[in-house]
Amino acid sequence: MLAKRIIPCLDIKNGQTVKGIQFEQLRFAGDPVVLAELYARQGADELVLLDITATVEARNTFADLILRTAKVLDIPFTVGGGIDSIAAVEALLRAGADKVSINSAALKRPELINELAQEFGNQCIVVAIDANVEVDGQWYAYLNGGRIATDRKVIDWAIEAAERGAGEILLTSMAQDGTKDGFALELTRAVSEAITIPLIASGGAGTMHHFADVFVQGGADAALAASVFHFGEIKIPALKHFLNAHGIPVRQNQ
Amino acid sequence: MEVVIIKYNAGNVQSVQYALDRLGVRAVWSDDPATIRGADRVIFPGVGAAKPAMAYLKAAGLDDVIRGLKQPVLGICLGLQLFCTHSEEGDTDCMGILPNSVRKFVPCGGQKVPHMGWNTLTTRSGLLFEGVASDAYFYFVHSYYATEGASTVGSTDYLLPFSAALAWDNFYAVQFHPEKSGAVGQRVLQNFLFG
């Protein structure tokens, strides 16, 4: 049976993981490659590496980091952050990334999704959507790391992205992000049922029950989280064991 | 051991090459018929669409080269599909090395397409899976699948049962990505290379 995926996300700035990361009593101020390998060994199903810098120099550092990650990592990984062109995607895939995640650039120019899918295949194009609730009670997609609202409703945008050739949607609820109060279950369920491509849910993971909820109630195909893994609050082997005990198919580490 | 990875327009070479590096095996990336024919093992990976890939292989004469190979050959993902007779993707005639045909998944009942992520094999046998636990997970990402048939040595059930692994004479093929399937994937590659 197809397993539900657990995906740790690393935020990278100037080639280093940001936030102090507490991992198995070890503190990584530093090399994301070491952390990526550790997560893989613990049973992470995929990884996301997010470049949160914007300068050209930092981009080159990031591409070098992707190359080093690809050499050691034997599970798939997605890279994202500021990707806005075929050339940018080509450089990252050539370095060894399996998929790329695009967000603001796709909202600004949706044709980019078609162009990337045509050039590289649907399977490696992830469209990330940062979602938040407006006063009208509806969920809208946000630009630039959640700083700028758009008039695109999340479900409509997810459907359009899929039609344009996205292979997967990464849905982050900004309202939940960082709260550790659980994923946005209703939104996740609504988007998952509206599309026929896989959905990764993100934002709000705080307990193992939250992961079970987002798979069962939210209908997510994968769940992404950062701090609960980085600070060792939830350990991936224990999470997989918990989900398995709750009848949710997950890949146990082998 | 001389391992050649076939160079063409849909070769997802990088991650396969890195996986071989991790096994301590140096591989050559080549489209030269003599180099390919002279290899001990040939790997034919692929990511992308069937039609342009087949057109490229035919124009370069590589389809005949591959068909005529006598040493063990491993097709991965699109590589597996191109070994089959025909693909619904772009209504493409493929190499016909394996008697299976390739069809498109139709999403149904909440099961998404692409078939993306880690899945198990319901049945499997033969060289590729020696020493691999029966409940092992492999990483898949594909929207088209090869039908089951006499050459099927591994089946996966997603939307319907399909060929996750095929073997016919010296030709082997897997729909999953052994280079991205952790330790079990590494074992499959080892079995192919040294088995």
- Phi/psi at A220 (5° precision): -75, 150
Element (H, E) at B51: helix B50-59
| B148-183 per-position pLDDT tens digit | 999 999 999 999 999 999 999 999 999 999 999 999
The beta strands (E) that lie in B91-136 are given as 92-93, 102-104, 115-120, 123-124
Question: What pLDDT sits at residue A231?
Answer: 81
Cross-chain residue pair A76–B21, CB shorter than 8 Å? no
Q: Is A124 helix (H, G, I), strand (E, B) or coil?
A: helix
| B132-144 per-position pLDDT tens digit | 999 999 999 999 9
Please check whether residue B104 touches A, CB under 8 A.
no
| B13-53 per-position pLDDT tens digit | 889 999 999 999 999 999 999 999 999 999 999 888 899 99
Give the span between the Cα atoms of B187 and B184, in whole angstroms: 5
Cross-chain residue pair A94–B133, CB shorter than 8 Å? no
Strand partners, B6: B30
- Phi/psi at B34 (5° precision): -65, -40
Question: What pLDDT sits at residue A59?
Answer: 74
Cross-chain residue pair B142–A123, CB shorter than 8 Å? yes
Q: What is the three-state SS of A8-28?
A: EEEEEECCEECCCEEECCEEE
Q: Which long-range contacts (CB under 8 A, 24 or more apart) does A110-115 make?
A: A110/A160, A110/A161, A110/A164, A111/A164, A112/A84, A112/A85, A113/A161, A113/A164, A113/A165, A113/A166, A114/A164, A114/A165, A115/A86
Domain around B72 = 3-194
The total of other beta-carbon atoms located within 10 Å of residue B39's CB is 21
* Cα torsion B58, B59, B62, B64: sign: positive
Give the span between the Cα atoms of B146 and A40, in whole angstroms: 29
**Per-residue CA distances from B144 to A72, A84, B26, B78, B81 (Å):** 29, 28, 31, 9, 8
**Per-residue CA distances from A192 to A154, A186, A199, A242, B41 (Å):** 11, 10, 6, 23, 43
Give the span between the Cα atoms of A49 and A96, in whole angstroms: 12
| B66-116 per-position pLDDT tens digit | 999 999 999 999 999 999 999 999 999 999 999 999 999 999 988 999 999
Question: What pLDDT sits at residue A207?
Answer: 97
Q: Is B87 helix (H, G, I), strand (E, B) or coil?
A: strand
Give the span between the Cα atoms of B43 and B20, in whole angstroms: 11
Give the residue on B whose Cα is nearest the Cα of A117: B48
Give the span between the Cα atoms of A102 and A88, in whole angstroms: 11
Best CA proximity match to B97, nearest among B159, B34, B166, B153: B166
Question: What pLDDT sits at residue A170?
Answer: 98
Question: What pLDDT sits at residue A25?
Answer: 47
- Closest residue to B112, CB basis, from A5, A76, A197: A197
Q: How many domains are there within chain B?
A: 1
Distance, first Cα to last Cα, chain A? 16
Q: Which residues of chain B make contact with A120, given a CB cutoff of 8 A?
A: 48
Give the span between the Cα atoms of A38 and B92, in whole angstroms: 42
Evaluate if residue B121 carries a pLDDT over 60: yes
Question: What pLDDT sits at residue B11?
Answer: 67
Q: Which amino acid is at A70?
A: A
**Token pair belonging to A119:** 């050039």
Cross-chain residue pair A98–B111, CB shorter than 8 Å? no
Cross-chain residue pair B117–A74, CB shorter than 8 Å? no
The total of other beta-carbon atoms located within 10 Å of residue B24's CB is 6
B93/chain A closest Cα distance in angstroms: 20
Give the span between the Cα atoms of B90 and B143, in whole angstroms: 13
**Token pair belonging to B9:** 């327009």
ipTM of the complex: 0.94
Residues 6+ apart with CB under 8 A from B117: A2, A3, A4, A5, A45, A198, A221, A222, B139, B140, B141
Contact B94, B53 (CB under 8 A): no
Question: What pLDDT sits at residue B59?
Answer: 97
Q: Whole-prediction pTM value?
A: 0.95
Please check whether residue B52 touches A, CB under 8 A.
no
Please check whether residue A74 touches B, CB under 8 A.
yes
pLDDT per residue, tens digit, chain A (254 aa), is 999 999 999 988 878 887 544 444 445 556 889 889 999 999 999 999 998 876 666 777 888 899 999 999 999 999 999 899 999 999 899 889 999 999 999 999 999 999 999 888 899 999 999 999 999 999 999 998 888 999 999 999 999 999 999 999 999 999 888 889 999 999 999 999 999 999 999 999 999 999 999 999 999 999 999 989 988 899 999 999 999 999 999 998 66
Evaluate if residue B125 carries a pLDDT over 90: yes
Instruction: Give the CATH number of the domain where residue B121 resides.
Output: 3.40.50.880
A234/chain B closest Cα distance in angstroms: 21
Provide the pairing of β-strand A99-102 with A77-80: parallel
A135/chain B closest Cα distance in angstroms: 31
Give the span between the Cα atoms of A150 and B193, in whole angstroms: 53
Q: Is A194 helix (H, G, I), strand (E, B) or coil?
A: helix
Give the residue on A whose Cα is nearest the Cα of B119: A2
